[in-house]
Chains A and B, each alone.
Chain A
Amino acid sequence: MKPKIAILRTDGTNCDEELFYAFEKAGGSSEMVHVNQLIHKEKDLKNYQILSLPGGFSYGDDILSGKILANELRHRLKSQLDAFIAEKKLMIGICNGFQTLVRMGYLPWNMKPAEEVSLIFNDSGHFECRWIKVRVAHSKCVFSRGLENKIFDMPVAHGEGKFVVKNKAVGQKIIDNNHTVFQYVDDGGKITMKYPENPNGSFHSIAGVTDESGHILGIMPHPERNTLKHHHPNWRSQSVRLCNSIFENAITYFK
């Protein structure tokens, strides 16, 4: 049976359709699930193998990006979510979804909301939409299995994507325990802090991190927007590595 993916929606979710498509194309069975349906028990997380938090501006990104949704999930669905994680199912948060996972305290390890890491305003000071390159680091992450050192093109579209850490020790722990999954690189494939290749000034050029189990991935750029030949700006003049393998890895995990 195809693994079932819950594409979590709420007020202001807006990258749900491309994410829905990415998982379907990878061989999964996607379903739109509204937070209210989980809260009112019309749908149950038990019936899904993957929970995905798409990008967008949940609740307008008021106060801080993803904050209101994170707070809602923490206080109204905590037990369902903890049970989901305990069953070693997978979770992915892209862009606003990543911000939400961090503000729930799920990434890169269990903590209070954004207690030791956070995603804050880009150094550039503004929202920015452009294609960038990321390289896959060595980690436990299920989504990036077998992709180590590969370079992917994908678009970023965010204003609050700078990954920051509380102090050196926290940063060191992230590096030492291989929580880093994706890093921004320049044209030559080298990890970079330079704008705009690194669009936000993230610590350690981090574009994506995983938790201690490797089952939860948070990523700022949008791999779900590079799953078709026509997605890349220069598909007319160059060959492109699509990001489908990231989603296929998640599907394969359940086979």
Chain B
Amino acid sequence: MIYRIEVTPHVPTFIDGDGEYILSEILGLGIQTIKKVRVVKIFKLEGNLSKIELQTIIDEVLVESFWQDYAVHTSVLPSKNAQTVEIARKPGVMDTEIESLLKAISDLGIKEIKMAGTGKKYIFTGKLSPKQLTFITEKILMNKIVDRVVTKKEKTLIVGSKRTPTQTIQIRAMNNEDLMKLSHDKLWLNSEEMREIQGYFKKERRDPTDVEVEILAQTWSEHCCHKTFNAELIIDGVKKSSLMSRLKKATKILDKKWCLSVFKDNAGVIELDRDFGISGKVETHNSPSAIEPYGGAMTGSGGVFRDIMGCGLGSKVIMSTDMFCVGVPDLKAEDVPDGCIHPKKLLKEVVRGVRDYGNRMGIPTNNGSVHFHKDYRAKPSIIVGAYGIIPKKQVNKKALRAGDAVITIGGKTGRDGIHGVTFASGSMTANTENTSSSAVQIGNAIEEKRMFDAILVCRDKGLLRFAQDCGGGGYSSAIGEIAEKIGVDIHLDRIPLKYPGLASWEIWISESQERMVIVVAPKDIDQVIQICKNFNVDARVLGEITNTKRLKLFYKDKLECDLEMNFLHDGCPITEKNGTYVPNLFEEPLFAEPKNYNFILKKLLASWDVCSKEPIVRQYDHEVQGTSVLKPFTGPDADVPNDAAVIAPHLGKKTGMAVSHGMFPVFNRIDPYWGAAGAIDEAVRNMVAVGVNPSKIALIDNFIWPTPEERELGDLDRAVDACVDMSLTLKMPFVSGKDSLSSTYNAADGTVIKIPPTLCISAFAPVKNVDHTISADFKGVGNAIYIIGKTKPELGGSAYYALKNKVGNSVPHYDAIKTLKNYKKIYQAIQKKLIISAHDCSEGGIAVALTEMCFGNVSARIDTARIPYEGEMRPDQLLFSESHGRIIVEVPKGFVKEFEKHMESVDCSAIGTVTKESMVRISYKNIKLIESSVIELKRAWKKPMKEVFS
């Protein structure tokens, strides 16, 4: 039988926090008739228990009776005159509590429980129409993708079905129409690719199994083989080499000795110190996050952590970053496109996902940003990065030998995440929410954590020959890549399943989370399995490496797949693609100089892109591992934002590493060349501002683009050209990168929403001695304030223009040679302690950067007329221009002369002084422009996100 136990806090002595949260969310939707919400947790246990056993489980595990009430089989709270909704996970969707419940009951010595389940019951007091109740249920209480409304008692909690046997697909007899029917909504391949597959099997003189066809579709998907990035291009009629080859070539030309592994592994690796390297990888998880943001963000984090763990013979993950691009939180409900989630809800859910995964893994999340634009309202860009530390001698994977054992380690395989890569490769429609549900899943951070613990022990004992992440494409991608050059035999029936009934092709391409594949020498199998067992980690031998150069899959000894590795990995016809660059023209706005600068500054501080993101940052544990030495915020109230994160990964040593990023989606709309150059500068100047040596910086690219038609491809080509040019000029190599080119939304009514072309540049570098890193908060009254870099009339795409709902065309350009020279001088000055705080000028320009530095509760007095500039500029343009390459610095009063001498050959000018009256005072010569109290400015800056997350 199924025992059902309801538990809820004893109110009013104790708070029903869940209930209060739901109530505030409902009020936020504008429904005012609800008076109270109560939330009841439900545990379900299937089996046979004695009365005493049931009571033991309740007392020891489920209920703390002095602050919780409970009931067995009945309702713990009266629901008379109230409406109730009960929600549970859909069968087979990850519910981590089930495993924990079963473990706890088994620890009690009770053996008769076969299965468990959980759920939540919501009880509403107050008036609600049935329509409102449905609305609340679907928008707040559940996500239809992973949850269900429970309307009747379950007969069993055990999940499972009959397995569909492997089938043969009569592909040789198909005409073009049949081929495309097969492709449509299942394989997502084009007609040329379908014909290529048909031709292969005609040559092999047999028809394929469904397993083989699915494998080809997965391996050849845009997501896995990056057809656009690898294609030869014709741009405006001129032949150009592929985007990928250009980026790789630039890195090769730079040939930096400190690059230990570039573009060949799951992450790029650079040198940290004599013995260790740092690995870095940044990933996107846009499609899953669009329809299930919590699970999407979680599994995005989980995936990028596994990329780091699967780098070399295993890197230990020591840091995580998150960059989100979403619609504006105050978007009107009717402007949310069909099948999409409101940006405010989406943002809160992705934050919750990153929080729950990163925090539970014990990985500090200490760098990130959020960008807002209305055109992310259908498809957000959810970017997650991770960094790891690895002994230099483990950076390279070992050459595989026939007979080596292929072992799966970590989570079990279920039907979750099937067709994830093909789904990610297609455009989103209003129907995506319904048709692609299996592509989305919830992560289990604890599974991943214990798997990492076990892998690191195996690595340190020298037992690993290869470590590979199971991500997009599942085993198909992971094992396919491992054995690409050699061959492999795998027995599908040895793969541990979450529940019975999976067909062979489902097992092979499922993207169930928290799984990795390792390869070990046959003699080490037993030791590896024992180590895993000690960490409660499942590890099974699936098969062995062969010399056949073929991928052979067996189910109970029956051969179900026999593909040539060559055809699988190199057979996909990659065609030339055509692109055209068409410049966008946005009218340059004309308006009078503002009369009230105080008002403008406050509005800028309260704009979505500029405002404080502290309510997000505080939800991430950025202190875990004890390594953080430059936090997201510093200053007496711990609220001055810093430009980059610095950690010291060896406790007690001064060696460190720094991480930052840059991105300007709106600049890309105006001109992707300068947008990309700007993103690189922002990432680099953030590093320079905290004291990083600019000659040691490595870069990572993430291109997130609307589905590339001719024009989008023209834009992309221009952005890549900028990356190559800047990389070569700055001598900063790209070491890893990723593209995700499907961020177009097609509504049923023909509306098309394309995101602004998005390029996120991440930068990482070693820091020799963390003593010589600095923060952004002003330190001492009387110190001098300088600006380095020239200000130009470049307000196109600025936050200032955005206040006036204008874009403008004067996008900031970038003189990389000159700027790099300045940055080197700044770096040296920080090393000599001539600069003790610094902050980069970005969104909102000098005015915002300076104000943020004052949030350390000291103030500044500056004269705009002393800002070095080019062209003709009004004071408002000087203050709010977003020209690149500018950093504001604080110089201790005793070191002014020495500093000026050091900066002699550089665009550098004293603009003011740190003062003590807790005011921001900005003038133009004798004219007062801004005179606002720091407290008031801070309040305006903090308010927007506080409201979103209250």
Which residues of A are in contact with B by a Cβ distance under 8 Å?
9, 11-15, 17-18, 21, 25, 34, 36-37, 55-57, 59-64, 67-68, 71-72, 74-76, 112-116, 118, 120-121, 123, 125-131, 155, 157, 164, 166-167, 222, 224-225, 227-228, 230-231, 233-237
Given that A34-B534, A157-B624, A233-B638 are known contacts, is A18 also in contact with B104, CB under 8 Å in the complex? no
Scoring B618, B628, B634, B636 by chain A CB atoms within 10 A of each residue's CB, the highest score goes to: B618
Given that A113-B64, A233-B633 are known contacts, is A228 also in contact with B652, CB under 8 Å in the complex? yes
Establish whether residues A63 and B634, one from each chain, have CB atoms under 8 Å apart when the complex forms.
no
Can you report 20 residue pairs joining A to B where beta carbons are below 8 Å apart?
A18-B624, A18-B625, A18-B626, A59-B103, A60-B444, A63-B61, A71-B108, A72-B103, A75-B108, A75-B109, A113-B59, A123-B15, A126-B619, A127-B359, A129-B620, A129-B623, A230-B629, A230-B770, A233-B634, A233-B635
Does B107 reach chain A (CB closer than 8 Å)? Answer: yes
How many angstroms between the C-alpha atoms of A36 and B96 in the bound complex?
A: 20
Establish whether residues A14 and B361, one from each chain, have CB atoms under 8 Å apart when the complex forms.
yes
Minimum CB–CB distance from A84 to chain B (whole Å) comes to 19
Does B621 reach chain A (CB closer than 8 Å)? Answer: yes
Does B917 reach chain A (CB closer than 8 Å)? Answer: no
Q: Out of B17, B64, B446, B629, which one reaches A60, CB within 8 Å? A: B446
Given that A12-B360, A63-B101, A225-B626 are known contacts, is A72 also in contact with B107, CB under 8 Å in the complex? yes
Establish whether residues B100 and A63, one from each chain, have CB atoms under 8 Å apart when the complex forms.
yes
Give 14 new A-B contacts, CB below 8 A, not counting A12-B360, A116-B66, A129-B617: A14-B624, A18-B651, A60-B100, A61-B360, A63-B61, A115-B64, A121-B15, A123-B15, A127-B355, A128-B619, A129-B623, A164-B14, A222-B623, A228-B652
Chain B residues near A64 (CB-CB < 8 A): 64
In chain B, residues 603-654, which have Cβ atoms closer than 8 Å to a Cβ of chain A? 617-626, 628-629, 631, 633-636, 638, 648, 651-652, 654
Instruction: Write the B272-302 contact mask toward A (1 if CB under 8 angstroms, else 0).
Output: 0000000000000000000000000000000
Minimum CB–CB distance from B512 to chain A (whole Å) comes to 17
Chain A residues near B775 (CB-CB < 8 A): 236
Given that A113-B64, A114-B64, A225-B626 are known contacts, is A11 also in contact with B638, CB under 8 Å in the complex? no
Q: Which residue of chain A has the shortest Cβ distance to B638 in the bound complex?
A: A233
Establish whether residues A236 and B774, one from each chain, have CB atoms under 8 Å apart when the complex forms.
yes
Does B362 reach chain A (CB closer than 8 Å)? Answer: yes
How many angstroms between the C-alpha atoms of A9 and B15 in the bound complex?
A: 32
Chain A residues near B774 (CB-CB < 8 A): 236
Chain B residues near A230 (CB-CB < 8 A): 629, 648, 654, 770-771
Chain A residues near B434 (CB-CB < 8 A): none
Establish whether residues B626 and A130, one from each chain, have CB atoms under 8 Å apart when the complex forms.
no
Chain B residues near A234 (CB-CB < 8 A): 634-636, 638
Q: Out of A56, A71, A237, which one reaches B362, CB within 8 Å? A: A56
Q: Which residue of chain B has the shortest Cβ distance to A226 in the bound complex?
A: B626
Establish whether residues A115 and B624, one from each chain, have CB atoms under 8 Å apart when the complex forms.
no
Q: Which residue of chain A has the shortest Cβ distance to B653 in the bound complex?
A: A228
Chain B residues near A11 (CB-CB < 8 A): 446, 449-450, 535-536
Q: Out of B449, B622, B651, which one reaches A12, CB within 8 Å? A: B449
Chain B residues near A166 (CB-CB < 8 A): 66-67
Q: Which residue of chain B has the shortest Cβ distance to A62 in the bound complex?
A: B100
Does B515 reach chain A (CB closer than 8 Å)? Answer: no
How many angstroms between the C-alpha atoms of A21 and B771 in the bound complex?
A: 20
Chain B residues near A126 (CB-CB < 8 A): 619
Does B445 reach chain A (CB closer than 8 Å)? Answer: yes
How many angstroms between the C-alpha atoms of A71 and B106 in the bound complex?
A: 10
Q: Out of B446, B621, B634, which one reaches A157, CB within 8 Å? A: B621
Q: Out of B107, B617, B623, B626, which one reaches A75, CB within 8 Å? A: B107
How many angstroms between the C-alpha atoms of A56 and B21 in the bound complex?
A: 25
Q: Which residue of chain B has the shortest Cβ distance to A155 in the bound complex?
A: B623
Interface size counted on chain B using CB atoms at 8 A:
67
- Sort A-B residue pairs by CB-CB distance and give the 10 closest, nearest first: A14-B362, A18-B626, A62-B100, A230-B629, A166-B66, A57-B360, A157-B621, A21-B651, A60-B446, A62-B97
Which residues of B are in contact with A by a Cβ distance under 8 Å?
9, 14-15, 17, 20-21, 59-62, 64-67, 96-97, 99-101, 103-104, 107-109, 355, 359-362, 444-446, 449-450, 453, 534-536, 617-626, 628-629, 631, 633-636, 638, 648, 651-652, 654, 770-771, 774-775, 777, 779, 836
Establish whether residues B66 and A131, one from each chain, have CB atoms under 8 Å apart when the complex forms.
no
Given that A127-B359, A166-B66 are known contacts, is A236 also in contact with B107, CB under 8 Å in the complex? no
Chain B residues near A120 (CB-CB < 8 A): 9, 14, 67
Q: Which residue of chain A has the shortest Cβ distance to B856 in the bound complex?
A: A237
Chain A residues near B9 (CB-CB < 8 A): 120
Minimum CB–CB distance from B81 to chain A (whole Å) comes to 27
Chain A residues near B629 (CB-CB < 8 A): 230-231, 235
How many angstroms between the C-alpha atoms of A75 and B105 in the bound complex?
A: 10
Minimum CB–CB distance from B286 to chain A (whole Å) comes to 25
Establish whether residues B362 and A15, one from each chain, have CB atoms under 8 Å apart when the complex forms.
yes
Q: Which residue of chain A has the shortest Cβ distance to B62 in the bound complex?
A: A63
Chain A residues near B635 (CB-CB < 8 A): 233-234
How many angstroms between the C-alpha atoms of A127 and B138 in the bound complex?
A: 25
Establish whether residues A225 and B623, one from each chain, have CB atoms under 8 Å apart when the complex forms.
yes
Chain A residues near B652 (CB-CB < 8 A): 21, 25, 228
Chain B residues near A116 (CB-CB < 8 A): 66
Establish whether residues A76 and B96, one from each chain, have CB atoms under 8 Å apart when the complex forms.
no
Minimum CB–CB distance from A39 to chain B (whole Å) comes to 10
Establish whether residues A76 and B107, one from each chain, have CB atoms under 8 Å apart when the complex forms.
yes
Chain A residues near B534 (CB-CB < 8 A): 34, 36-37
Chain B residues near A118 (CB-CB < 8 A): 64, 66-67
Minimum CB–CB distance from A236 to chain B (whole Å) comes to 6
How many angstroms between the C-alpha atoms of A56 and B64 in the bound complex?
A: 21
Q: Which residue of chain B has the shortest Cβ distance to A19 in the bound complex?
A: B626
Establish whether residues A71 and B631, one from each chain, have CB atoms under 8 Å apart when the complex forms.
no
How many angstroms between the C-alpha atoms of A72 and B362 in the bound complex?
A: 22
How many angstroms between the C-alpha atoms of A64 and B648 in the bound complex?
A: 33
How many angstroms between the C-alpha atoms of A118 and B359 in the bound complex?
A: 22
How many angstroms between the C-alpha atoms of A72 and B654 in the bound complex?
A: 39
Chain B residues near A164 (CB-CB < 8 A): 14, 67
Q: Which residue of chain A has the shortest Cβ distance to B650 in the bound complex?
A: A21
How many angstroms between the C-alpha atoms of A235 and B535 in the bound complex?
A: 38
Establish whether residues A68 and B103, one from each chain, have CB atoms under 8 Å apart when the complex forms.
yes
Establish whether residues B638 and A131, one from each chain, have CB atoms under 8 Å apart when the complex forms.
yes
How many angstroms between the C-alpha atoms of A64 and B65 in the bound complex?
A: 13
How many angstroms between the C-alpha atoms of A191 and B591 in the bound complex?
A: 54
Q: Which residue of chain A has the shortest Cβ distance to B620 in the bound complex?
A: A129
Establish whether residues A15 and B60, one from each chain, have CB atoms under 8 Å apart when the complex forms.
no
How many angstroms between the C-alpha atoms of A227 and B536 in the bound complex?
A: 32
Establish whether residues A236 and B64, one from each chain, have CB atoms under 8 Å apart when the complex forms.
no
Minimum CB–CB distance from B626 to chain A (whole Å) comes to 3
Q: Out of B66, B96, B631, which one reaches A233, CB within 8 Å? A: B631
Minimum CB–CB distance from A19 to chain B (whole Å) comes to 9
Q: Which residue of chain A has the shortest Cβ distance to B43 in the bound complex?
A: A63
Establish whether residues A121 and B17, one from each chain, have CB atoms under 8 Å apart when the complex forms.
yes
Q: Which residue of chain B has the shortest Cβ distance to A37 in the bound complex?
A: B534
Scoring A62, A113, A118, A164 by chain B CB atoms within 10 A of each residue's CB, the highest score goes to: A62
Q: Which residue of chain A has the shortest Cβ distance to B451 in the bound complex?
A: A11
Minimum CB–CB distance from B349 to chain A (whole Å) comes to 13
Chain A residues near B445 (CB-CB < 8 A): 12, 57, 60
Q: Out of A37, A127, A235, which one reaches B619, CB within 8 Å? A: A127
Establish whether residues A59 and B446, one from each chain, have CB atoms under 8 Å apart when the complex forms.
yes
Minimum CB–CB distance from A18 to chain B (whole Å) comes to 3
Q: Out of A74, A75, A237, which one reaches B777, CB within 8 Å? A: A237
